[in-house]
C-alpha cells in the first residue's frame, strides 16, 4: 500500500492542533515511518508551548490607558461595550507588537516607537532567541558541521552574502543556524553561538526595506534578556543574550567589526 504524500502544511497543522480529524490517522502513520519528521513536529509543539508560556501572561495584564483611548473611536463607531473595547485594545497590544507588545520596552516610550523599525527588529530577534535557545535537541536547523552549506543556503534565501562572525576569542562558538519568517520583508537568518557553560547568544540578520536609515548601536532589555541592534545599509542585525550589558556590548563590537570587513 502506497502511503499518501504528506505536506509541510499538514505537519504544521498537526503541531498547532488544527489538523482535521479525518487526516490524523494518515499523519500519525506517516510520522511512525519518518522519525525525523516526528521529531520536527515535537520541536514545533515545544516551541508553541514556550511561546504560550512567554506571552499568555500579557493577556492578564491591565491594558494601558493609551491603548484603551486608541480603541475608543472603534468602540464608539461600532457600539461596543467597554469589556469589548478592552479586549480589542488587548488584541492591538499583542498583535501590533508581533506577539510581544511589552517585550523589550527599554527604548520605547510609546506605541509608535514600539512598533517602528528598528525596534521591531530587536523585538523579533528577542522572541526568536527566547523560543530557540532553550532547545536541547533542535536548537538549530543546520549544524556547524555543515557550516558551508548553512551560509550558502541562508545567503541565497536572504539575497545577500552572509558571513557568521567568529566569536571563539570571546569564548563563543557557532553551533549552527536556521531560517525564520520575517515581518513582511522576507525571511531572516538566525545564527546561534554557545560557550563552555552552555550560555547561548544569537545573531538575527534581516534584509531591511529600502530607504530605512542606518542606525548606531542601540540597546534594549526585558528582565535579563538584552539586545544590541543596528541597521547597516540594507541589513539589520540584532545580537541577543542573557548577559550583562557591558559584556554583550563587547561581543556586539566584535560582531560589528567583522561584518564591516565582509561588507
C-alpha 200/C-alpha 131 separation (Å) is: 12
- Measured CA to CA, the distance from residue 11 to residue 5 in angstroms comes to 11
pLDDT attached to residue 35:
84
Strand order in the sheet with 218-222: 142-143, 173-180, 188-194, 200-207, 235-241, 225-232, 218-222
Between residues 204 and 38, the one the model is more confident about: 204
**Residue 237 contacts by C-beta under 8 Å, 6 or more apart in sequence?**
203, 204, 205, 206, 229, 230, 231, 255, 256, 259
Residue 202 banded pLDDT, cuts 50, 70, 90: very high
pLDDT of amino acid 99: 40
| pLDDT tens digit sequence for 67-85 | 555 555 544 544 444 454 4
Angstrom CA distances, 253 to 78, 128, 167, 230, stand at 51, 21, 11, 11
pLDDT at 93 over 80: no
87-116 average pLDDT score: 42
3-class SS letters over 141-171:
CEEHHHHHHHHHHHHHHHCCCCCCCCCHHHC
Tell whether the model's pLDDT for residue 87 goes beyond 70.
no
Q: How far apart are CA 120 and CA 235, in angstroms?
A: 14
Q: Is 110 helix (H, G, I), strand (E, B) or coil?
A: coil
Backbone phi, then psi, for 133, in 5-degree steps?
A: -65, -30
pLDDT tens digits, residue range 138-165?
889 899 999 999 999 999 988 889 999 9
- Whole-model pTM: value is 0.59
For 116, what's the count of Cα atoms within 13 Å in the CB-facing half-sphere?
9
> What is the Cα–Cα distance from 233 to 263, expressed in whole angstroms?
9
Q: What is the pLDDT of residues 208-233, one digit of tens each?
A: 755 455 667 899 987 789 999 998 88
Which residue would you say has higher pLDDT here, 254 or 83? 254
Amino acid at each position: 500500500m502506497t502511503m499518501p504524500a504528506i505536506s509541510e502544511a499538514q505537519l504544521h497543522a498537526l503541531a498547532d492542533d488544527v489538523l482535521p480529524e479525518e487526516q490524523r490517522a494518515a499523519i500519525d502513520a506517516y510520522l511512525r515511518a519518518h522519525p525525523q519528521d516526528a521529531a520536527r513536529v515535537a520541536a514545533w509543539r515545544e516551541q508553541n508551548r514556550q511561546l504560550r508560556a512567554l506571552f499568555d501572561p500579557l493577556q492578564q495584564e491591565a491594558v494601558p490607558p493609551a491603548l484603551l483611548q486608541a480603541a475608543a473611536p472603534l468602540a464608539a463607531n461600532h457600539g461596543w461595550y467597554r469589556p469589548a473595547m478592552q479586549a480589542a485594545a488587548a488584541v492591538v497590544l499583542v498583535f501590533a507588537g508581533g506577539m510581544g507588545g511589552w517585550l523589550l520596552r527599554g527604548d520605547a516610550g510609546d506605541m509608535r516607537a514600539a512598533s517602528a523599525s528598528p525596534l521591531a527588529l530587536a523585538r523579533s530577534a528577542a522572541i526568536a532567541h527566547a523560543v530557540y535557545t532553550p532547545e536541547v535537541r533542535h536548537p538549530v536547523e543546520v549544524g556547524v558541521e555543515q557550516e558551508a552549506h548553512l551560509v550558502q543556503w541562508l545567503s541565497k534565501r536572504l539575497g545577500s552574502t552572509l558571513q557568521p562572525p567568529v566569536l571563539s576569542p570571546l569564548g563563543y562558538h557557532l553551533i549552527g543556524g536556521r531560517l525564520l519568517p520575517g515581518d513582511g520583508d522576507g525571511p531572516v537568518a538566525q545564527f546561534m553561538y554557545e560557550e563552555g557553560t552552555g550560555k547561548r547568544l544569537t545573531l538575527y540578520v534581516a534584509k531591511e526595506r529600502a530607504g530605512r536609515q542606518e542606525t548606531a548601536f542601540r540597546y534594549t532589555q526585558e528582565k535579563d534578556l538584552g539586545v544590541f541592534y543596528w541597521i547597516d545599509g540594507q541589513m539589520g542585525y540584532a545580537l541577543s543574550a542573557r548577559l550583562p550589558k557591558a559584556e554583550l556590548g563587547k561581543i556586539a563590537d566584535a560582531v560589528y567589526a567583522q561584518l564591516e570587513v565582509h561588507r
